[in-house]
Structure formats: C-alpha cells, structure tokens
Structure 1
Amino acid sequence: MVLYRLPILILTTSIVYIFISPSEPFVFSLFFKVIPMILIIIYATEQMPLEKNATHWFLLIGLCFCIIGDATLHWFIIGLTAFLLGHISYTLGFLKQANYSLKKGLAIIPITAFAIWMGIQLVSSLQESGQQQLIISVIAYITIISIMAFTAILTGNRWAILGSILFLISDSILSWNMFISSFAIAGDLVMITYYSAQFLIAHSLFTIVPSNTKPIVW
C-alpha cells in the first residue's frame, strides 16, 4: 500500500481539481491545479536512481517547466513558452535513449500528418479571428510537441510513449477548444489527459538505467 500511496494521492488531487474545486477565485483554483504536478515531480524524483544520467535530468527539468506553464497559462504566451521549453527538455532526454528501427521510424508518418492537419485548422481559425500574431507561436509549438512524441517512440519506452501521445492529445484538445470550436467537457478532457501524460513520463524514469543500457522496449 505504501508503494502506491503517492500515485493514489496524485489521482485524488487530480480528481479534486478537475471535478470538485471551484474555478474562482483564480488563485484558489491555481493552487489546486499545481498540487498534482508538485506531487508528480516528487514521484519522478523517487523513480530516479542514485546514479543519474542526462535523460533523468532532462525529464525532470521538463516537468519543472511544465508546472511553470501550468501556473502561467492564464497569460497564454508565457505559459506556452514554458511548455515549449518543457517539450524541448523532454525531447533532449528521449534522444539520449533513442534506438532507431524501421517500425519506430514509420511512426513519423501519422504524427506528421496529424501535425499538418492540426496546423492547417489552427492557422485558418487564427486568421479568421484576427489573431495572426499567434500563428508563429502555435506552429512552433505543434512542431516541437510532435517531435517530442516521435522521439519518445524512438526510445521504445512504453511509459514515455503513452505519456507523450497523451500529452499530444491533451494539447490538441486545448488548442481546438481555444481557437477552433469550444465544447463543454474540453477542460475536463484536457486535464485528465494532461495529468495522465505527466505521470506516465515521470513513471518512465524508473526504467531508465544509468548505464548505456536502453530502457524497457515494446
């Protein structure tokens, strides 16, 4: 039971924020929003071995940038920049563990196709709404999160792969809801997939050994 205490606490605080805590006042809501991420970062440090390699540090730094993004997403460009830096850190960490194969390499096709389709939808919507100043930032973000998901696949690490794909789904729902067409349960879906993604990426740290051995593969 002790082994699962922190994951259960992460799940509980996530449920509290998503389904129970009020959205106002803003500071109160923000407090409950970052608690699960603080716990996920603590969980990540517990998954890291005493002898750490570059991947451990890059993923931990990525988690820290993401919690900054959580706290500042209300100011969109600041939050977006923090998440962008988080994805770059994740990408660098995954590249350190990358092990290319044709099977993994083919994943670039659906990821690229989805990124292009999503980019077209967002750019069109931003132009129609007169928010052209966001186009470059949004395209840059779509590009880096797609690269992050692809590099996670190259590691063969099942936890990192699922986490990165959920992160891609979460941000896609968020972008669609913000810029294209809003829908009632978007906020809940965004946070469910987001917390799940971050937990799985943090959980992947236990499979990354400090030697040159690759992590658990599919």
Structure 2
Amino acid sequence: MYRKLLPAAILCSGAAYLIAMAAENLLLRWILKPGTMLLIIALALTAVPFSCVYRRLMLAGLGFSVVGDALLLLPGNQWFALGVGSFLIAHVFYILALLTRRRPTLARLLSLLPIIAYGVGLLTGLHDGMFASPGNGSLWIPIVVYVAVISVMVWAAVLSGSRNAAIGSILFFLSDSLLAWNKFVTPMAWAGYGVMVTYYLAQYLMAQSVEATRPIPSSVRVAGSR
C-alpha cells in the first residue's frame, strides 16, 4: 500500500525542491534534495526485484548519489570534485548492476557509437570553457574520466534491455551534461531546474528498473537471495 504512494511523494518532494531553489532557501534544499533521493531509495527497497544482486548494486549506486547530492550543495571546486567522485562511484555500481542482466544484440552493441560521439562532442565543448577560466583546468582529468564512465553506464543500460534503465541512464547523462555546460561553458538561468528535473527522473527510472517486469518464481527468488 505504502509503495503505491511513493511516486506521488517523490513528485511532491522533487517539485518542492525546485520551489526551494527558486526561493534560494538553503535549509529546505538541504532537506529536500537528499530527502527526495531517500524516497527513491525506498521505491527500490520495496520493489519485487528483478534479482536481489541487481537491487543491492542499484541501492549502492543510489546511496552514493545521495552523498554526491550533498557535496554538490557546498560551494567551491574542491566540493564539486568530491561530488563528481561520489557520483563516479555510483555509476560504477550502476554498471555492475546492469551488466548482471545484459542481453546483447547487434543493435544494442552498435549503440556504443552514438554514445561515444556524444561524449567526445561534450568533452570538446567543455575543454575550451574549462581552460578559459583559471582554476577549472585542474578538473579536466576527473571530468574526462567521469564522461567515460557514464558513457559506459549508458551503454550497459542499453545492453540490459531494460527500458527504464536505458531511458534513466540517458537522462542522467543529459542532466550531468547540462550541469557541466552551465558551470564551465555558458551559464544559463534555467539550467539548475533542468538539471534537477532530468536528474530526479533518471534516478526514479533507475530505481524502477529494480522491479521485476513479470512474476518471478519463488525458487528463483530464493536462489537470488543467497
């Protein structure tokens, strides 16, 4: 019963966070930003899982995302770098989870090509912007590594055959792209809202991917829990 209320609670909490952003209320942002993620974690926890291993790995990724959320609320490049590092770990856990359900086909394997093209185009644009501003150049290597890892995550999501995971990972990449572009290349007044809308949708879909799409025989559930 309570799980049915979670999507509405996540929507309300996420919308409230956007309002807190507009009002520049830092206290509410500290409460609602991780709070929305905790509701998303509850969604994954209460799902009938595709597999227990998959859920554990996804929960680890969601947990590191909460840490990253908090770090990105702090000012300064050092906190930004730590936040990127936390999300990097989250993506590694997502990749490990998604690889447990990989279902490769030729089309899915070839999807790596447009993913690489997008990543290279993003890094090309970020390079000039980052090195044009003193102090940002030191973040170049972490950003390159991050883009490479999230590209692998998107590919792993496509290979998994999970629609929720594939769309969620793409939205995650778009959210992070907008965040980086706004910070290092061209500041945009609406960017913060775009980042958070795509981010919450991404994490919601990643959590939803835990849910089994069809009934799982009890013998399989027992085996998966060991």
TM-score by length of 2: 0.87
Q: CA deviation at 1:4?
A: 3.0
Mark the runs of 5 or more structure 2 residues left unpaired by the alignment: 222-226
- Identity, in percent, stands at 35
Kept in 2, the 8 Å contact 1:163–1:196? The answer is yes
Kept in 1, the 8 Å contact 2:157–2:166? The answer is yes
Partner deviation per Cα, 1:117-170 (whole Å, 9 max, x = no partner): 101111221111132111000001101011000000000001111110110110
For this pair of structures, how many residues does the alignment match? 210
Amino acid at match of 2:174: I
Return the alpha-carbon distance in structure 1 between the equivalents of residues 108 and 87 of structure 2: 25
Q: CA deviation at 1:35?
A: 1.1
TM-score by length of 1: 0.90
Return the alpha-carbon distance in structure 2 between the equivalents of residues 20 and 53 of structure 1: 36
Matches within 5 A, 1:1-218: 4-20=4-20, 22-24=23-25, 26-49=26-49, 52-73=51-72, 74=74, 75-130=79-134, 131-207=136-212, 211=220
Return the alpha-carbon distance in structure 2 between the equivalents of residues 139 and 189 of structure 1: 22
Kept in 2, the 8 Å contact 1:54–1:93? The answer is yes
Q: CA deviation at 1:19?
A: 2.5
Kept in 2, the 8 Å contact 1:163–1:197? The answer is yes
Deviation larger for 149-158 or 129-138:
129-138
1:215 corresponds in structure 2 to none
Return the alpha-carbon distance in structure 2 between the equivalents of residues 164 and 52 of structure 1: 19
Aligned Cα root-mean-square deviation (Å): 1.9
Amino acid at match of 1:150: W
Return the alpha-carbon distance in structure 2 between the equivalents of residues 23 and 48 of structure 1: 38
Amino acid at match of 2:19: F
Amino acid at match of 1:151: A
Q: CA deviation at 1:3?
A: 5.3
Residues 127/20 of structure 1: CA separation in 2 closer, same or farther (3 Å cut): closer
Q: CA deviation at 1:30?
A: 1.3
Return the alpha-carbon distance in structure 1 between the equivalents of residues 30 and 128 of structure 2: 31
Return the alpha-carbon distance in structure 2 between the equivalents of residues 28 and 10 of structure 1: 15
Amino acid at match of 1:62: G
Return the alpha-carbon distance in structure 2 between the equivalents of residues 118 and 3 of structure 1: 38
